[in-house]
Amino acid sequence: MKLLKLVPPDTNIKFLKVRVPFFIVSLLLIAASWAMVLIQGLNYGVDFAGGQEVRITFEEREEAPIPALRELVGGLGYGSPLVQDFGAPNQVSIRLRLPEEVEATPGAANDIGNQVIATLAQEFPDARNDGNDTVGGKVAGEFREAALIALIAAMVAVALYIWIRFEWQFGVGALFALFHDVSLTLGLFAVFQLEFSLQIIAAILSIIGYSLNDTIVVYDRIRENLKKFR
């Protein structure tokens, strides 16, 4: 029985003939992405912009009702809260981004935290308050700096690895590919003003990992062909 072939065996698509237009498109997209980041900025979450953090333990539950907490705290009018597990499954951290007028008023941030605690205590009698703290701008700035260093270090380490594994030209190409992928991701976050938090940094590091994997596979094939066709 003859196998079905959707692509003829003698297919030869000359991708490199159109490399220059695609290089230009990539450079334009990178420039546009960074222009949007610089002009419009990123919508930093509580991790990077500061805010109020409330820690709650549910003493009579094995797991915290995270979806219900998001809905309940979000209804207070302080934006979308960041609700995460904090230690045990029945412990949560609730972080809120503070309005600009609140940041300039001493004690107003703690009042918002107390309002969250009172609302949760009314809805969940087993909710125990474990903390009501303000994440200041200095701490948020340190988070941003550490996240930027992590991204740059990851890309440089990848380039050095490929440089050693293959040749220096390959390392430069891989670094450009990583810079392209990260730049376009940041550009999309700037255009659509999606919340940018520590979880997004982890996602971008995953993008770097997947991009590296694809690059290594392609470079291995190129190296094999270079030995046959100098």
Q: Residues 131-185: pLDDT tens digits?
A: 887 766 556 667 778 878 888 887 788 777 777 777 777 778 888 888 898 899 9
H or E element at residue 213: helix 198-228
Task: Tell me the per-residue pLDDT of 174-196, one tens digit each, with 9 for 90 and over.
Answer: 888 888 988 999 999 999 888 78
pLDDT at residue 33, rounded to an integer: 94
Q: Would you put residue 95 in left (φ > 0), alpha (ψ -120 to 50) or beta?
A: beta
Determine how many CB atoms are found less than 10 A away from the CB of residue 92.
24
Q: What is the pLDDT of residue 100?
A: 66
Any idea what the Cα angle at residue 119 is, between residues 118 and 123, rounded to 5°? 115
CA distances from 158 to 27, 114, 115, 147 (A): 21, 46, 47, 17
Low-confidence ranges of the chain (pLDDT < 50): none
**pTM of whole model > 0.85?**
no
Measure the CA–CA gap between 212 and 101, rounded to whole angstroms: 44
What per-residue confidence (pLDDT) applies to 136?
62
Phi-psi region of 208 (alpha: psi -120 to 50; beta: other; left: phi over 0): alpha
Under CATH, which number does the domain 51-135 receive? Answer: 3.30.70.3400
Residue that the structure tokens 């949760």 belong to? 120
Domain range list for the chain = 18-43+139-228, 51-135
What are φ and ψ of residue 129, in 5° steps?
Answer: -80, 120
